[in-house]
């Protein structure tokens, strides 16, 4: 149901709190344990629409999932009677494509309008090379496919995408032979960490030119593992930026995932002058976890490109809000991937920053923002176009505004962070 969010700017953020479980780790905790032998207990799993889509699809494949327990199928799933509906979730469809490329039945995967418009050839191409058969086009959902993994192949991905990497690894671990996978730079590595914890053996190295190579011989059995999912840094990012730009703010986000392949947002904000302290670092379920304290600070412009982009790709919309509040010019390059997320996020960023009253220009692979303190005196109205992260970034922009902000399409937030507005109001004084 369409939902318009309204808020008035101002106030400060204060308090100690957690954000919901990491979305990427939660999807993997379900999908990898579904493939494994044995039973796993999951704590801190994200409870949002994208995760409901993954759980529902796995249920159709015969997997038994209770809120905090999952029983693995030991490598063999049952054929679903109906198409698998992945909703709005790119991670669900792409990871399931990899999982099902190792199974010997026909299946159709589909999703909502946004998901049906997103590129799937980047996954279907490599999986075809590994023996999967796709009916008709492979460029977008709905996709009908059947498995038949014959590995012994080298796959080079042109994008640093953890979804592509994970799909390929899910097929390779079920197939016969040696897979070599190379990506242009290391994308988030939650799959590698969890597969290792499940007993999968593979070589993993960064080549002298910065590319990342994995070599894995299949088939291998995965042993189910319990997972304690840390808070999602991609959800925390909205609060990290909000606390940085609202003078007088002081927050601590506890039990947060700080995997180095995900902490680009902290590095970028620190380069801008943000006041962020990382405390109580520990390793939980193979993932780095910490508490982070954020106090408001005067920010200045920054240039972001190259390897930093995959380490913060989902955080760029809210980083753009911080850039609008900074002094001086900021630029983002090498971020073409933003065009093919839940919406064209460069277009979304342009709308938000323009509404904040700052000059912004789009470039083919990024954008430039001239910081202007970000304090709009006129009312802001943004259509989130079905994109959860554009909706939440627009809300953070609204916190700086001297007037009212309206965000239409706010229901999209439920994909990743249903409690976002409540939590924000709880910590805003
Ligand atoms: C994800 C990988 C990223 C990210 C997405 C989640 C994952 O996508 O944007 O929200 O869990 O593997 P790409 O793999 O397309 O970069």
What are 37-53's pLDDT values in tens digits? 999 999 999 999 999 99
308 by Cβ neighbours in 10 Å (0-12 / 13-18 / 19+) ranks as buried
244 pocket-lining for ligand 1 (C-beta < 6 Å): no
Helix (H) or strand (E) holding 36: none
> Do both 292 and 383 map to the same domain?
yes
For residue 157, which phi and psi values (nearest 5 degrees)? -95, 135
> Do both 14 and 32 map to the same domain?
no
> Do both 339 and 410 map to the same domain?
yes
Expressed in angstroms and rounded, the spacing between residue 162 Cα and the centre of ligand 1 is 6
Low-confidence ranges of the chain (pLDDT < 70): 149, 374
DSSP string of 97-145, one letter each residue: HHHHTTSSSEEEEE--HHHHTS--HHHHHHHHHTT-EEES--SSSSEEE
- Residue 239 confidence (pLDDT): 98
Q: Rounded distance, CA 369 to CA 347, Å?
A: 13
- Residue 150 confidence (pLDDT): 75
Domain membership of residue 71 as a residue range: 23-228
> Do both 74 and 207 map to the same domain?
yes
Q: Which atom of ligand 1 lies at the shortest distance from residue 166's CA?
A: 12
Mutate to test the pocket of ligand 1, among 313, 316, 343, 415 (most ligand atoms within 8 A of CB): 313
> Do both 189 and 330 map to the same domain?
no
> Do both 202 and 328 map to the same domain?
no
* Catalytic-residue membership of 314: yes
Do residues 149 and 174 lie in contact, with contact meaning Cβ atoms separated by under 8 Å?
A: yes
Of 195, 228, 261, the last residue of a domain is 228
> Do both 14 and 40 map to the same domain?
no
- Can you read off the two tokens belonging to residue 118? 């997103």
Q: Rounded distance, CA 349 to CA 101, Å?
A: 36
Q: Closest Cα to atom 5, ligand 1: which residue?
A: 91
Of 211, 228, 245, the last residue of a domain is 228
CA 407 to chain centre: 22
> Do both 269 and 377 map to the same domain?
yes
Task: Spot the catalytic one: 85, 189, 291, 314.
Answer: 314
- Residue 149 confidence (pLDDT): 67
- Residue 67 confidence (pLDDT): 84
CATH code where residue 132 lies? 3.65.10.10
Strand (E) positions, 229-274? Answer: 250-257
Mutate to test the pocket of ligand 1, among 86, 158, 163 (most ligand atoms within 8 A of CB): 163
SS3 154: strand
Of 194, 228, 262, the last residue of a domain is 228
> Do both 263 and 404 map to the same domain?
yes
> Do both 304 and 175 map to the same domain?
no
- Can you read off the two tokens belonging to residue 148? 């038949």
> Do both 256 and 211 map to the same domain?
no
Q: Rounded distance, CA 385 to CA 142, Å?
A: 21
> Do both 185 and 117 map to the same domain?
yes
Expressed in angstroms and rounded, the spacing between residue 408 Cα and the centre of ligand 1 is 25
Q: 114-140 as b/e, with b when 16 or more CB fall inside 10 Å?
A: bbeebebebbbbbbebbbbebeeebeb
Q: Closest Cα to atom 16, ligand 1: which residue?
A: 161
The domain total for the chain is 2
- Residue 308 confidence (pLDDT): 97
Q: Rounded distance, CA 94 to CA 52, Å?
A: 15
């Amino acid at each position: 149901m369409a939902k318009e969010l309204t808020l008035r700017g101002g106030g400060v953020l204060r308090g100690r709190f957690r954000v919901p479980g990491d979305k990427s780790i939660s999807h993997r905790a379900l999908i990898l344990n579904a493939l494994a032998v044995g039973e796993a207990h999951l704590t801190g799993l994200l409870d949002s629409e994208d995760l409901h889509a993954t759980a529902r699809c796995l249920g159709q494949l015969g997997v038994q999932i209770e809120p905090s327990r999952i029983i693995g199928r030991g490598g063999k799933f049952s054929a679903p009677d109906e198409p698998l509906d992945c909703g709005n979730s790119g991670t669900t469809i792409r990871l399931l494509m990899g999982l099902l490329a190792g199974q010997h039945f026909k299946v159709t995967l589909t999703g909502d309008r946004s998901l049906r418009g997103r590129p799937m050839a980047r996954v279907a191409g490599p999986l075809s090379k590994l023996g999967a058969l796709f009916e008709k086009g492979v460029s977008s959902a709905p996709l009908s496919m059947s498995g038949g993994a014959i590995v012994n192949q080298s796959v080079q991905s042109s994008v640093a995408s953890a979804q592509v990497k994970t799909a390929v690894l899910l097929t390779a671990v079920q197939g016969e032979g040696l897979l070599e996978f190379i990506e242009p730079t290391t994308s988030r590595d939650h799959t590698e960490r969890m597969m290792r914890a499940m007993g999968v053996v593979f070589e993993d190295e960064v080549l002298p030119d910065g590319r990342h190579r994995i070599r894995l011989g299949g088939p291998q059995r995965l042993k189910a593992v319990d997972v304690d999912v840390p808070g999602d840094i991609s959800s925390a990012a909205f609060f990290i930026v909000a606390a940085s730009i609202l003078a007088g703010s002081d927050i601590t986000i506890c039990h947060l995932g700080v995997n180095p392949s995900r902490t680009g947002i902290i590095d970028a904000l620190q380069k801008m002058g943000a006041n962020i302290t990382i405390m109580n670092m520990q390793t939980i379920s193979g993932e780095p976890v910490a508490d982070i304290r954020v106090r408001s600070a005067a920010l200045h412009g920054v240039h972001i490109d190259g390897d930093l982009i995959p380490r913060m790709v989902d955080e760029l919309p809210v980083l753009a809000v911080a850039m609008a509040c900074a002094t001086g010019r900021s630029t983002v390059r090498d971020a073409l991937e933003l065009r093919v997320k839940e919406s064209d996020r460069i277009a979304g960023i342009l709308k938000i920053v323009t509404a904040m009253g700052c000059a912004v220009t789009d470039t083919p692979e990024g954008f430039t923002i001239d910081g202007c303190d970000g304090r709009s005196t006129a009312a802001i109205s943004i259509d989130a176009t079905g994109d959860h992260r554009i909706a939440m970034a627009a809300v953070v922009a609204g916190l700086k505004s001297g007037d009212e902000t309206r965000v239409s399409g706010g229901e999209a937030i439920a994909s990743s962070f249903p409690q976002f507005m409540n939590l924000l109001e709880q910590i805003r004084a």
